Structures are given as structure tokens and as C-alpha cells.
């Protein structure tokens, strides 16, 4: 009797654990989907109908065009939407793609400011926003993305000075800022960047 009770308790505990991970898994998958659907909503021109036809809730996000996921955790790790003629803005929801390490949206017409929520993306290694129409100052929170190796912001409408915080990015190998309306002097840290700096 005591044994049966124990087995039952154990079963309930295991079942509870199973349900908790299942719902946690489901939540993280849906969070990524929700974030990408927010991006789809913020793209107001999609000349090739890429998002309209391919980014459908009926297929898993990992199969969507331009999206790559980690091989076992099925979380979005890379978003590559290069040169698709997109016009739009970046929604704050992108900051929920917690495993994102590569964001390349170069050669489009994204405008507006970079949402501060992107500062949550601590796995980020490679950001390429080159040849768009982003404006405002280069955000100083970029300096908190400590894994960043490549940062390309060339050919946009960024203004103001190069933030000093970028000097905290010890892994930075490439910084491309040319073709903006930057002012002020080049901070001395950029001469410490291991390989390339383009103004």
C-alpha cells in the first residue's frame, strides 16, 4: 500500500515535471513565432511576397525563409533577410528572440530607430544593418552585447557621435560605420579592434 502510494507520488512528480517542460518549450517556441510575426507586421512593403507566402503560422518558424534555428533547442539563432526590397521598421518584439546570434537585414529599406529591446540579445555575434535608412544616434546599449564580433551600420542615416560604450566590446573584429552623418572624433578604442574598422 505504502509502495503504491509512493509510486503514484513519483508518477505525479514526473508527470508534473514533464508538463512544466512541455509548456515551457511551447512558450519559447511561441515567443519566437510571435516575435517574427511582429516583424512581418512591421514590413509594409514585401515586393517578392516572401513573408506573405512563406512566413505562415501553419509551418514551424525554423522552416521559414531566412530563419535558422539551433540544432537541438529549436530556438531561432539567425535571421538573414538580405536584399529583399523590404520597407518597414523593426518591432521591439525582436528583443524576445533570446538565442539570436546573427541578424542580417542589409540592402533593404528599414527605417526608424533601433528598438532598445535588442539590447537583451546577449548571444548576438553578427549584426549587419548596412544599406538601409535607420536614423537616430548609434545606441550606446550596443556596448552591452558582449559577444559582438561584427557590427555593420554603414549607409544609413545615423547621426551624432560614435558611442564610447562600443569600446567595451572586447570581441569586436569589424565595425563599419561609413555613409552616415556621424560627427565628433573617432574614439581611441577603435584602434584596438583586432582587424577592421571602416568609417
Ligand X SMILES: *[C@@H]1O[C@H](CO)[C@@H](O)[C@H](O)[C@H]1NC(C)=O
Residue from 63, 146, 157, 194 in contact with ligand X (CB under 6 A):
63
Q: Residue 6 or 65: which CB sits closer to ligand X? A: 65
In the chain the beta strands, taken as DSSP E runs, fall at 43-45, 67-69, 76-80, 87-88, 102-104, 109-112, 126-128, 133-137, 150-152, 157-160, 174-176, 181-182, 196-198
- Displacement of CA 15 from its chain's centroid (Å): 34
**Stretches 3-11, 21-29, 39-47, 141-149: which one binds ligand X (CB under 6 A)?**
21-29
* Binding test (CB under 6 A) with ligand X, winner from 33, 40, 80, 87: 80
> What distance lies between CA 71 and its chain's CA centroid?
18
Residue 23 half-sphere exposure, CB side, CA atoms within 13 Å?
5
Q: Can residue 59 be called a binding residue for ligand X (CB under 6 A)?
A: yes
Write each residue from 95 to 134 as x if it is in contact with ligand X (CB under 6 A), else as -, in one continuous string: xx-----x-x--xx--------x-------------x---
Distance of CA 169 to the CA centre of its chain: 17
**Residue of 25, 146, 157, 194 interacting with ligand X (CB under 6 A):** 25
Q: How far is CA 177 from the centre of its chain?
A: 19
Closest to ligand X by CB, 5 or 109? 109
Q: The cell 550596443 sits on which residue?
A: 142
Closest approach of ligand X to the CB of residue 137, in Å: 20
Q: Decide whether 6 or 59 has the Cβ nearer to ligand X.
A: 59
Q: Which residues, 6+ apart, have CB-to-CB distance to 31 below 8 Å?
A: 96, 98
Minimum distance from CB of 4 to ligand X (Å)?
A: 26
Question: What residue ranges bind ligand X (CB under 6 A)?
Answer: 18, 21-22, 25, 31, 34, 53-54, 56, 59, 63, 65, 72-74, 80, 82-83, 92-93, 95-96, 102, 104, 107-108, 117, 131, 155, 167, 188-189, 192
Amino acid at each position: 500500500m505504502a509502495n503504491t502510494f509512493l509510486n503514484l507520488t513519483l508518477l505525479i512528480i514526473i508527470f508534473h515535471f514533464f508538463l512544466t517542460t512541455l509548456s515551457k518549450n511551447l512558450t519559447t517556441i511561441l515567443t519566437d513565432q510571435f516575435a517574427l510575426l511582429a516583424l512581418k507586421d512591421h514590413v509594409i512593403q514585401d515586393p517578392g511576397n516572401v513573408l506573405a507566402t512563406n512566413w505562415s503560422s501553419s509551418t514551424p518558424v525554423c522552416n521559414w525563409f531566412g530563419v535558422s534555428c539551433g540544432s537541438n533547442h529549436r530556438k531561432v539563432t539567425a535571421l538573414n533577410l538580405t536584399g529583399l526590397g523590404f520597407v518597414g521598421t523593426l518591432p521591439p518584439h525582436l528583443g524576445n528572440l533570446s538565442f539570436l546570434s546573427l541578424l542580417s537585414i542589409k540592402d533593404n529599406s528599414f527605417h526608424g530607430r533601433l528598438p532598445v529591446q535588442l539590447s537583451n540579445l546577449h548571444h548576438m555575434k553578427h549584426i549587419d544593418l548596412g544599406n538601409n535608412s535607420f536614423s537616430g544616434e548609434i545606441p550606446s546599449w550596443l556596448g552591452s552585447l558582449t559577444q559582438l564580433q561584427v557590427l555593420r551600420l554603414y549607409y544609413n542615416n545615423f547621426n551624432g557621435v560614435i558611442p564610447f560604450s562600443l569600446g567595451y566590446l572586447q570581441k569586436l573584429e569589424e565595425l563599419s560605420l561609413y555613409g552616415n552623418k556621424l560627427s565628433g572624433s573617432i574614439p581611441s578604442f577603435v584602434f584596438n579592434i583586432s582587424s577592421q574598422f571602416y568609417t
